[in-house]
Amino acid sequence: MKIPFTLPYIGPEEIARVTETLQSGWLTKGPATVQFEQEFAAYVNSSHAVGLNSCTAGLHLAQIALGIGPGDEVITTPYTFVATANTILHTGAKPVFVDIDPISMNLDPALVEAAITPRTKAIIPVHFAGLPCDMDAIIALANKYRLYVIEDAAHAVHTNYKGRPVGSIGDITCFSFYATKNLATGEGGMATTDDESLAERMRVASLHGMSKNAWNRYSDKGSWHYDVEYAGFKYNMTDVQAALGLVQLQKLPAMQRRREQVVARYNAALASCDSLHLPYDDPRHRHAWHLYVIRLKPAMLAISRELFIAELGKAGIGTSVHFIPVPHHPYYRRLGYRPSDCPQASHAYAHAVSLPLYPGLSDAQADAVIDAVMAILAKNRK
Ligand SMILES: *Cc1c(COP(=O)(O)O)cnc(C)c1O
């Protein structure tokens, strides 16, 4: 039985809704995108949502809308997908990596203050795996030093922080609907904010800087004329993506319940493995469980992380590693960043393995993952 690391959860409802859009005569940003923006904003309790072609586009536009550019510094975590840091470079600003807390694997707020300089403009926390960052501490620092908070919520589409949905907390929050994410539209993203002028700036910047988009121009009340006030980007969502998103959003609570069941199964079985760190959770919040990341304890195991992954592969189980810390990548090393600048992230990376976790994973498949993990650990105890 081969168990892939990840699988999208697409059913007849998505196929029917996409077909409806394909037959509607409107493929790019239009009525389905507007509806998805409204329903998504309501889901995360935010006033505005801007549909985009990716979370990466959202992170870029958020910084553009907040006026971040050359000469500025933006604090973020090294333990993220490289998109977070790349978008800071795209604005001309400088990424400043602050190490993670080794338990939560999120940005360590206790280390953030020392990294703030007069040039710091924003903090981009990443809710790793779906566990929210310590937002009270991050918002307190942002208020004290007048910094913006842009959340990378690529993993956090269902996350609550002390009962507050992620998407309603920082100045701007960016979500990903990439194929592997909890809510998938293939490619896609959303930026949410309570600030109407920020939403409008992101909307305009997402469509070439045009004062009116095609959706307005070609509607009954539209006209052919538009003004370009700014050299914007082409970052808009399409109605085909939104059609998928509308159905996935309906299914999200049920998909999350299944993720939680798989996590409970993993936790119950693997709790007895003292050679593993299991993922951290905090009952004050709601974890979105995008990823289930175990970490090997090297002092207790005579097997490397690489061999552990290879053994799972031989047992037919797909895995992944989240994340290669950004300062490890050759390009960032050439910019002068060093893995040794973030020892906790580097240590976590060296021992982390992400196990399969998705709504379509059956109990039998989860048990096969558990059995394989436990067998490899038992064979390789020091
Ligand atoms: C997936 C991911 C992104 C990028 O999302 P896209 O929608 O593919 O642009 C950004 N940050 C993190 C942490 C991610 O996992």
Distance CA 140, CA 144 (A): 6
In what helix (H) or strand (E) does residue 50 lie, and over which residues does it extend?
A: strand 48-52
Ligand 1 pocket check for 354: Cβ under 6 Å = no
Residue 123's identity, in one-letter code, is: I
Distance CA 357, CA 130 (A): 12
Q: Which residues pair with 50 in a beta bridge?
A: 191
* 39, pLDDT greater than 80: yes
Helices (H), strands (E): how many in the chain?
13, 12
Closest to 205 in 3D by CA, of 187, 228, 225: 228
pTM score, two decimals? 0.97
Distance CA 46, CA 62 (A): 15
Question: Mean pLDDT throughout 115-123?
Answer: 98
Task: Specify the pLDDT at position 339.
Answer: 97
Q: Centre a 10 Å sphere on the Cβ of residue 168 and count the other Cβ atoms it contains.
A: 17
Catalytic residue among 2, 181, 297, 382: 181
Question: Mean pLDDT throughout 242-269?
Answer: 98
Question: Mean pLDDT throughout 276-292?
Answer: 98
Distance CA 155, CA 127 (A): 6
* 116, pLDDT greater than 70: yes
Question: Mean pLDDT throughout 30-53?
Answer: 98
Residue with tokens 């703030």: 116
CB-based contact 40:248 (threshold 8 Å): no
* 361, pLDDT greater than 80: yes
Question: Mean pLDDT throughout 19-43?
Answer: 97
Task: Specify the pLDDT at position 217.
Answer: 59
- pLDDT band with cut points at 50, 70 and 90 for residue 229: confident
- pLDDT band with cut points at 50, 70 and 90 for residue 31: very high
Q: Which residue's C-alpha comes closest to atom 8 of ligand 1?
A: 178
Q: How many A from CA of 61 to the centre of ligand 1?
A: 14
Distance CA 272, CA 269 (A): 7
Q: How many A from CA of 54 to the centre of ligand 1?
A: 8
Ligand 1 atom showing the smallest separation from residue 187 Cα: 7
Q: How many A from CA of 324 to the centre of ligand 1?
A: 14
Ligand 1 pocket check for 83: Cβ under 6 Å = yes
Task: Specify the pLDDT at position 352.
Answer: 98
Ligand 1 pocket check for 80: Cβ under 6 Å = yes
CB-based contact 102:128 (threshold 8 Å): no
* 216, pLDDT greater than 70: no
Catalytic status, residue 221:
no
Distance CA 166, CA 151 (A): 8
Task: Specify the pLDDT at position 226.
Answer: 84
Percent of the chain whose predicted confidence (pLDDT) is above 90:
94
Task: Specify the pLDDT at position 61.
Answer: 98
Mutate to test the pocket of ligand 1, among 178, 241, 289, 293 (most ligand atoms within 8 A of CB): 178
Q: How many A from CA of 83 to the centre of ligand 1?
A: 6
Which whole-number Å values give the CA distances from 242 to 17, 36, 333, in the listed order?
10, 6, 38
- pLDDT band with cut points at 50, 70 and 90 for residue 223: confident
Ligand 1 pocket check for 182: Cβ under 6 Å = no
- pLDDT band with cut points at 50, 70 and 90 for residue 219: low
Residue 89 backbone phi and psi in degrees, to 5: -60, -40
Task: Specify the pLDDT at position 224.
Answer: 77
Task: Specify the pLDDT at position 225.
Answer: 81
Ligand 1 pocket check for 344: Cβ under 6 Å = no
* 347, pLDDT greater than 70: yes
Ligand 1 pocket check for 26: Cβ under 6 Å = no
Which whole-number Å values give the CA distances from 293 to 118, 212, 351, 382, in the listed order?
36, 44, 10, 22
Q: How many A from CA of 284 to the centre of ligand 1?
A: 25
CB-based contact 121:147 (threshold 8 Å): yes
Q: How many A from CA of 79 to the centre of ligand 1?
A: 12
Question: Mean pLDDT throughout 210-218?
Answer: 65
Ligand 1 pocket check for 178: Cβ under 6 Å = yes
Question: Mean pLDDT throughout 66-92?
Answer: 98
Task: Specify the pLDDT at position 1.
Answer: 74
Mutate to test the pocket of ligand 1, among 86, 124, 152, 206 (most ligand atoms within 8 A of CB): 152
In what helix (H) or strand (E) does residue 139 lie, and over which residues does it extend?
A: helix 135-145
* 304, pLDDT greater than 90: yes
Residue with tokens 């061999």: 307
Distance CA 310, CA 304 (A): 10
Q: Which residue's C-alpha comes closest to atom 1 of ligand 1?
A: 154
Question: Mean pLDDT throughout 251-278?
Answer: 98
Which whole-number Å values give the CA distances from 205 to 52, 84, 180, 295, 296, in the listed order?
11, 19, 27, 41, 44
pLDDT tens string 120-154: 999 999 999 999 999 999 999 999 999 999 999 99
Ligand 1 atom showing the smallest separation from residue 57 Cα: 9
- pLDDT band with cut points at 50, 70 and 90 for residue 40: very high
* 269, pLDDT greater than 80: yes
* Six token digits for residue 284: 């004050």
Ligand 1 pocket check for 54: Cβ under 6 Å = yes
CB-based contact 131:285 (threshold 8 Å): yes
Ligand 1 pocket check for 56: Cβ under 6 Å = yes
* 214, pLDDT greater than 60: no
* 343, pLDDT greater than 70: yes
